[in-house]
Structure 1
């Protein structure tokens, strides 16, 4: 109780009057935490609500866990919500491991009840041993400061871990003292999962080899990493504000300024930017960050994950959702009104021409005009040139940001591109001394000057 209260107070986890959603499996950790929080209800004026998710992986044993949870909550007058989710099926349908799927399902249900009660915090029963195990898992994945700082005391100002400074043996002694009789998941003793292997085999071997409790030494390293992480959080935010713009789900980073940063600053800025964009750094490891840093060629792309990507332009590095470059409106040829009027060349002076309203030789237009977005391999003859040029190369030469390229409309006749919106007409339809009739086109209404 003393350790838990010290952790709560040090990290400002709970305020008077808070509603706390508690993840409750029925195992020793969550049972001890829920029992301890229930003892604090009056002292802290808090409301606690338990949530249990039956993963349906252990048959009757899982059902017995669920019944135990219901009985305990009824005895201690704690509101309880239970859910049954076939995690094996969920994992298969979503191409996830059991562990990843179970975590996703649990947090989805926690958040559902969190919203239902308009709660303030979600309490998760990770303990000190979990911190050590997570450190070792992340170490072997090649993690940086974020991974080596292991499990956060608080996340997103919602997730709290009140017993993170309490060791597993202390949890077990607490359960014995109050005769809580927790449910024991015997699969924890099996070495099918990586965490179990570390708990049951790796750590005991380390303790024997170093002739000491390696958990305590690792925990000191974790605490140092947490201090480093806190420093970088401040630094990351400052770098982001100085180098980045964030609009319409797109983060743009000045490549000139980015290249002037130390490699450590580049890595940390990208991590902050990705988390800002996607809301998470889950599965964003060293390789992902390095792929982005290694981009050199203009137009080069690096995949961040299934939903986000990075792309290098001549002046900026862009991070954005994969579907952002798709503009469905531009797939429809009739999505925009193209205003057009045909007049004799003698009346051209009455039309106020500019980048948004252009004049073409009407007799050089083949068939009807229509609009579309660019396609791979598009070419046209820019005004003043004799040969064809790829639209892609034209945009690069004109330093058009690559995301904007997907929004620029092309006006075409039945044979060719005649105008790149607001930029350049084709030399093939330019006005010459032989021109007799002109067609004025614009995406704005045409007004004839008096």
Structure 2
């Protein structure tokens, strides 16, 4: 019996509705009408404040408007406050390209959220039931969902300023229909529930009857699976979150960078959930097409012997691996080439956020590292040029015969691929590469005791605002 199942579920979940305020999502169908009636019957005993909310998605013209008027009439008859919205979902679909079910759900929940905030309801009560739970779990497993997504519909979850609650989650569809008959409720029937163009309807009409025939108690097994999986996932997610703090090198809106060695040092169950946590953080709205297979692809990318590679995920998220770091970001960050002419001493602020200091020097100091070079004034034809690399760039290295490609130097020093496009290259006016800041000095470096005038160039991490020249005063 429905009432017994609901009371047992609330008791098992240690949840009391007494003294609360409840907004009920009501479509006019048997599920939501049964929920509204059930709460209305217990309103006085539990001391609850009750309001019904209905959304007309405007798919079926006058027919859907009559659904709204039916719900309003019921609420008027039983003195239940009523809120409704007419939202042109077909127009939203036309403008955004979203599928009908997703657009409807978004519009509906947005309306419910506004009411929750406006009136301060404790709960938003929804009429999802045991059949919905089975269908949702099967659909998500079929689609390839990961993590808690496989668990289906939770009994409770946070929503805006309150909590979504589903008191009917252990009751079957048949029990809800029986309740409506016992209470004399004649609900509205949405004909779209019979259309097999919707995957949920196909599961409902084909798979669910088969499972019920195999085991009449299938609902209880699926609900237990859901609850066990949620508990396990929450524990593993907590462990993964603790480890990911040591793995992430940086985190900002739309971008996360991780240390690959630290990540691969985590147990595989935590690796999978660590990737899921990254995706949850970056996606404002998770694409329907995102699934467990994409987590597998990311982990495969991080385990490949090749030091670099990239992966395009749904929704425009790109995963870029370069040596021992991996960057998750939306879209490829565009690296614009730059060219800065230097005619005098001063600071050159670079687009990569670093600085090259150019100053006149007396005598070179031996032993300076790759962040500093000395160039004889007579050997460096002005203006000095600081630019991004170009195809075929080669430089003659200090202390070596011949020349090397800049590409090979970047590879030797394991410079991440995204950074190579904005790495500064210093040449003279004749195009000869004089220095690769922070990496290599050229054969033109004059780090020896000499009476000749020299330029001293220093590459530093001083924060700047972008490529320009600041003359010293």
TM-score, reference length from structure 1: 0.77
Deviation string, structure 1 residues 72-103 (Cα, Å, up to 9, x no partner): 3444332413131233x433443333223322
CA contact (8 A) 1:303 1:309 kept: yes
CA contact (8 A) 2:170 2:220 kept: no
User: 2: CA distance between counterparts of 1:347 and 1:46?
Assistant: 86
User: 2: CA distance between counterparts of 1:401 and 1:145?
Assistant: 31
CA contact (8 A) 1:13 1:160 kept: no
User: 1: CA distance between counterparts of 2:280 and 2:114?
Assistant: 22
Structure 1: any 5+ residue segments left out of the alignment?
none
Helix, strand or coil at the partner of 2:168: coil
Instruction: Choose 1 or 2 for highest CA Rg.
Output: 2
CA contact (8 A) 1:123 1:161 kept: yes
User: 2: CA distance between counterparts of 1:17 and 1:331?
Assistant: 69
Deviation string, structure 1 residues 21-77 (Cα, Å, up to 9, x no partner): 433222222222233334455555554444433222212111212222333344433
Correspondences of 1:41-52 after superposition (within 5 Å): 41=43, 46-52=48-54
User: 2: CA distance between counterparts of 1:284 and 1:51?
Assistant: 32
Helix, strand or coil at the partner of 1:300: strand
Structure 2: any 5+ residue segments left out of the alignment?
341-348, 465-469
**Residue 326 (structure 2) pairs with residue 321 (structure 1):** no
User: 1: CA distance between counterparts of 2:384 and 2:45?
Assistant: 76
| Greater helix fraction, Structure 1 or Structure 2 | 1
Match for residue 176 of structure 1? 181
User: 1: CA distance between counterparts of 2:20 and 2:338?
Assistant: 49
Q: 1:285 is matched with which residue: 282, 291, 296?
A: 291
Q: 2:192 is matched with which residue: 187, 190, 198?
A: 187
Q: 2:405 is matched with which residue: 371, 378, 389?
A: 389
Q: 2:33 is matched with which residue: 7, 31, 34?
A: 31
Match for residue 277 of structure 2? 272
CA contact (8 A) 1:410 1:420 kept: yes
Helix, strand or coil at the partner of 2:24: strand
Aligned-residue Cα RMSD (Å) equals 4.3
What is the CA distance between 1:169 and its match in structure 2?
1.7
Correspondences of 1:295-310 after superposition (within 5 Å): 295=301, 296=304, 297-310=306-319
Q: Rate the CA distance shift 1:206–1:171 in 2: closer, same or farther, 3 A.
A: closer
Correspondences of 1:158-177 after superposition (within 5 Å): 158-177=163-182
| Greater strand fraction, Structure 1 or Structure 2 | 2
Helix, strand or coil at the partner of 1:248: strand
User: 2: CA distance between counterparts of 1:401 and 1:142?
Assistant: 32
**Residue 243 (structure 2) pairs with residue 220 (structure 1):** no
CA contact (8 A) 1:28 1:175 kept: yes
Helix, strand or coil at the partner of 1:96: coil
User: 1: CA distance between counterparts of 2:172 and 2:354?
Assistant: 68
User: 2: CA distance between counterparts of 1:78 and 1:419?
Assistant: 76
- Report which stretch shifted further, 269-278 or 377-386: 377-386
**Residue 413 (structure 2) pairs with residue 398 (structure 1):** yes
Correspondences of 1:33-432 after superposition (within 5 Å): 33-41=35-43, 46-75=48-77, 76-87=79-90, 89-117=91-119, 119-143=121-145, 146-156=148-158, 158-207=163-212, 210=214, 212-213=215-216, 216-217=217-218, 219-243=220-244, 244-245=247-248, 247-249=250-252, 250-260=255-265, 263-278=268-283, 282-295=288-301, 296=304, 297-318=306-327, 320-323=328-331, 325-326=333-334, 341-343=358-360, 345-346=361-362, 359-362=374-377, 377=391, 379=393, 381=395, 384=398, 386-390=402-406, 394-400=409-415, 415=431, 423-424=438-439, 427=442, 430-431=445-446
User: 2: CA distance between counterparts of 1:290 and 1:438?
Assistant: 52
User: 1: CA distance between counterparts of 2:41 and 2:432?
Assistant: 78
Instruction: Tell me how many residue pairs correspond in the alignment.
Output: 437
What is the CA distance between 1:187 and its match in structure 2?
1.9
User: 2: CA distance between counterparts of 1:199 and 1:285?
Assistant: 23
What is the CA distance between 1:364 and its match in structure 2?
5.4
What is the CA distance between 1:234 and its match in structure 2?
0.8
User: 2: CA distance between counterparts of 1:128 and 1:90?
Assistant: 31
Q: Rate the CA distance shift 1:428–1:355 in 2: closer, same or farther, 3 A.
A: closer
User: 1: CA distance between counterparts of 2:362 and 2:44?
Assistant: 90
Match for residue 436 of structure 1? 453
What is the CA distance between 1:129 and its match in structure 2?
0.7
Deviation string, structure 1 residues 187-237 (Cα, Å, up to 9, x no partner): 2123221211222233334555x4x53xx3254044135313412321232
User: 2: CA distance between counterparts of 1:120 and 1:369?
Assistant: 68
CA contact (8 A) 1:274 1:280 kept: no
What is the CA distance between 1:302 and its match in structure 2?
2.1
Deviation string, structure 1 residues 338-388 (Cα, Å, up to 9, x no partner): 675553x53667xxx88777654455556656767x578584638536534
Deviation string, structure 1 residues 295-323 (Cα, Å, up to 9, x no partner): 113221223321423233332444x2314
